Amino acid sequence: MKHKKRFYVLSILLLLGSIGYSQNQLPSALTDESIECVECHKSDDVSLYQQWGNSKHYGANVGCYECHQANEGDADAFDHYDYTISVIVSPTDCARCHENEVNEFVNSHHSKAGQIMGSLDNVLAEVVEGNNAFITPGFPHGNSAAAVNGCWQCHGSQVKVLEDGTLDPATWPNSGIGRINPDGSAGSCSACHQRHEFSIAQARRPENCGKCHLGPDHPQKEIYDESKHGINFYANVDKMNLESSKWVVGEDYSAAPTCATCHMSATENQNITHNIGLRIKWNNRPIHSKLSHETDEKWGLASASIHADKRRENMEDVCAACHNDNFTDNFFIQYEGLIDLYDRKFATPGEKLYKAALPLLRKDEDGNHIKFADPIDFTWFELWHHEGRRARHAASMMAPDYTHWHGTYDLAKNFYSKFIPEIEEIIVHGMKSNDKKDKKAAKELQKLLNKTLNSENHQWYLGKMDPVEKARRKKASDEFKARYK
């Protein structure tokens, strides 16, 4: 026992250097308060107690009270057997001991993900898919159960404390990454660090990010699984050294990178970062890819001062642990080529056509466009928000199937077989209208459609291929036929 204690003191001293909290915040033994919590909870919450017992926190005497303690007057504080505690342990609470991680996280897009609610996707969850019938004590006018169970579980709810100190069931349980906490802080560390083990190995695994980064509009998990990196990860999990405290790519493991490796973890030259935006050049979420420092500026993030090119260098430094520069450079040239293709061929002309069609779509009493009331609203939304993102995301992370069959193929199919025919239908309808304004808008839309289809990227659709290109394609086709006689 004595030995064990001495070991803890030693490891605590070692840790002071690496994690950076001040000594007086760390108890040298489990505190009396936490011992009392444990005495009740070890029989009432057997697995919770077990998980905590497996954690590094247990080893460092960080007990229930060190995390759950609260001050009288905190919005979510309540009396619990002579103690003032709260259920929510917010980033501000973790910051007592992990200030750096919290600062980096708070300055990242992750902590802002709860503020997105109000976007176009919201109209979907609240109106098109949902209603306000989910009534809870804190929300007499209701919420949409689709938002509560869907969007909010990834992006985060605004946690509401009821008069008796309990948490409104519409807003908790919730570990959304940009959750807005009762103490005003943003985010939830347990979005990635599952309680009560707070295991580092669990955080480093791709499944961790895959709770949110998957599905039709951001299939990063599927993309990773398809890539050579995912293949090598699953084939070599036992060689990944996932439990090691020090986890420097190239030094402690080399079989494969996980999501964390590329976006967060240490390299020979870089420390761990909890700002997942510092290694990405492009933000591929909007209709047109934006440079990452530009979107950071829009969101008021301190990292706006770090140029996208510098972030690309940071990412290349990760690749350098396993690949040579030529390989990496050529890869990024391939990826940028796809961003360019998507933008020129689909995003730019598509957006122009959709905007020109807006005056002819269904309107409310005030003359405003009713979102998602015409088929083309869905078609255009999916073009950029689903397939357009998939193609770019997949190219950025080496997944050819998602780049092509779930990406550029779907883009082309939906552009030519749905979007263009829908534009044509809107024109026919507009031409028949008795309203002069509609007729004019339809004529303008027709002009734009003609111009688009006669442009280099789309003239094939009218059977008008450039003769040089046509000859080149015929030659290639003849060669192919000769080869496979």
The alpha carbon dihedral of 288, 293, 294, 299 has a sign of positive
How far apart are CB 22 and ligand HEC at their closest, in Å? 10
The site map against ligand HEC for 121-150 (x = CB under 6 A) is xx-xx------------------------x
| Residue 70 interacts with ligand HEC (CB under 6 A): yes or no | no
Q: Contact region for ligand HEC (CB under 6 A) — 226-234, 358-366, 432-440, 464-472?
A: 226-234
How far apart are CB 345 and ligand HEC at their closest, in Å? 19
Residues 252-291 that bind ligand HEC (CB under 6 A): 254, 256-257, 259-266, 272, 274, 276-277, 280-286
How far apart are CB 413 and ligand HEC at their closest, in Å? 22
| Residue 366 interacts with ligand HEC (CB under 6 A): yes or no | no
The site map against ligand HEC for 16-45 (x = CB under 6 A) is ---------xx------x--xxx-xx--xx
Residues 299-328 that bind ligand HEC (CB under 6 A): 312, 315, 318-319, 321-323, 328
Q: Which C-beta is closer to ligand HEC: that of 85 or that of 420? A: 85
CA–CA gap between residue 91 and residue 121 (Å, rounded): 27
In sequence order, which residues have a C-beta less than 8 Å from that of residue 478 and are 6 or more positions away? none
Q: Which C-beta is closer to ligand HEC: that of 256 or that of 427? A: 256
Rounded CA Rg of the chain: 27
Residues 173-212 that bind ligand HEC (CB under 6 A): 175-177, 187-193, 195-196, 198-200, 203-204, 206, 208-212
Going from the C-alpha of 91 to that of each of 67, 191, 262, 474, the distances in angstroms are 10, 11, 24, 62
The site map against ligand HEC for 145-164 (x = CB under 6 A) is -----xx--xx---------
Residues 419-458 that bind ligand HEC (CB under 6 A): none
Burial string for 98-137 (b: 16+ CB within 10 Å, else e) reads: beebbebbbbbbbbbbbeebeeebbebbbeeebeeebeee
Q: Which C-beta is closer to ligand HEC: that of 273 or that of 414? A: 273
Burial string for 4-29 (b: 16+ CB within 10 Å, else e) reads: eeeebeeebeebeeeeebeeeebbee
Within a 13 Å sphere around the CA of 187, how many CA atoms are in the beta-carbon half?
A: 22
CA–CA gap between residue 422 and residue 416 (Å, rounded): 10
- Out of 54, 75, 83, 433, the only residue in the binding site for ligand HEC (CB under 6 A) is 83
CA–CA gap between residue 219 and residue 403 (Å, rounded): 11
Calculate the CA 184 to chain-centre distance: 22
How far apart are CB 276 and ligand HEC at their closest, in Å? 4
- Out of 96, 288, 371, 439, the only residue in the binding site for ligand HEC (CB under 6 A) is 96
Within a 13 Å sphere around the CA of 155, how many CA atoms are in the beta-carbon half?
A: 19
How far apart are CB 135 and ligand HEC at their closest, in Å? 20
Q: Which C-beta is closer to ligand HEC: that of 257 or that of 349? A: 257
- Total residues at the site for ligand HEC (CB under 6 A)? 129
**Tokens representing residue 108 in the block:** 């990242």
How crowded is residue 457: how many other Cβ atoms within 10 Å of its Cβ? 14
